[in-house]
Amino acid sequence: MTHKPTERVLNILNLLSITPKGLTLTEISEAISIPKSTLYPIMQTMLERNFVYLEKNSLKYSMGISAFCIGASYSQNKHMIDFIQKIMKNIVADIDETCQMGVLDGSDVLYVLKEDPVKDMDIRLISHVGKRLPAYCTALGKALLSGYKIEKIKSLYPDGLKAVTKNTITDFNVLEAQLEKIRQTNVALEVEEVTKFLRCYAVPLASKGKVIGAISISIPTFRATEKKNKLAIELLLKAKEKIDSVNYN
């Protein structure tokens, strides 16, 4: 005997899993034949538990971080996640700074893994697993956006690039120049564009020539010596080489 409420939740997740661009409440309602009055509280609960994500401008729902984590733990991606996390732990051990992994979710970078050094943090990062930030103003996000042409990027930000701090890039031409440099060097840089007194480096991770993720190292500016900056870049590039060499599929 089918349990109707459970069936509805599973139908919603199945529908969103095959619709990466997202769906509005009306579109979900019509697709799985549930009245919006019944559907809305279900979506709100799933939203609160991070099983779905609501893009505020388009009002479209898509898969959330909780669904991602559950799927990753059950699929072959779990092996890749474990592999990447081990590499990140080694990076933290070598440089004693925070290492993070993110994926592109619409116009945002979605943080999916994080490894902190044992010592107390001098600067508290505003990012954490499950957090979303505008991709254009983070090193992780820029590494992810380097896989897109500028026309696509402009479509992600129809209202332009808004400043988070005084250092945030708000000019598409400047962003495009940075992305071209990332394509050449495989290294993205962000300095105090989201958090004061913080410098971040990141590299894109690729599968069959397509950017599918990125990893970063965050360094407080007062510790960002030339030697440490160089080490961060070396560690990230070595990690990228290891991760990219593994078959993701």
Residue 93 has pLDDT above 80, yes or no: yes
> What would the pLDDT profile of 119-162 be if each residue is shown by its tens digit?
755 555 666 777 889 999 999 999 999 999 999 999 999 999 99
The domains of the chain, with CATH numbers, are 4-68 (1.10.10.10), 76-244 (3.30.450.40)
Does residue 248 register a pLDDT over 50? no
**For the residues of the chain, what is the DSSP string, one character each?**
---HHHHHHHHHHHHHHT-TT-B-HHHHHHHHT--HHHHHHHHHHHHHTTSEEEETTTTEEEE-HHHHHHHHHHSTHHHHHHHHHHHHHHHHHHH-SEEEEEEEETTEEEEEEEE--SSPPSS--S--TT-EEEGGGSHHHHHHHTTS-HHHHHHH-TT----SSTT----HHHHHHHHHHHHHHS-EEEESSSSTTEEEEEEEEEETTEEEEEEEEEEEGGG--HHHHHHHHHHHHHHHHHHHTS---
pLDDT digits (tens, 9 = 90+) for 48-89: 888 888 988 899 999 887 777 666 555 555 677 788 889 999
Region 6-23: mean pLDDT is: 85
Better pLDDT: 237 or 77: 237
pLDDT of residue 120: 56
Q: Tell me what pLDDT residue 126 has.
A: 65
Mean pLDDT of 209-235: 94
Q: Is the pLDDT of residue 249 over 60?
A: no
Give me the mean pLDDT over the 216-239 stretch.
96
The pLDDT of residue 18 is 77
Threshold 0.85, pTM exceeds: no
Average pLDDT, the chain: 88
Q: In what order do the strands lie in the sheet with 132-134?
A: 132-134, 108-115, 98-105, 210-220, 198-207, 188-191
Residue with tokens 């500028």: 150
pLDDT at 96: 93
Rounded CA-CA distance 200/237 in Å is 14
CA distance linking residue 72 with residue 232, whole number of Å? 28
Q: Mean pLDDT over residues 171-196, rounded?
A: 96
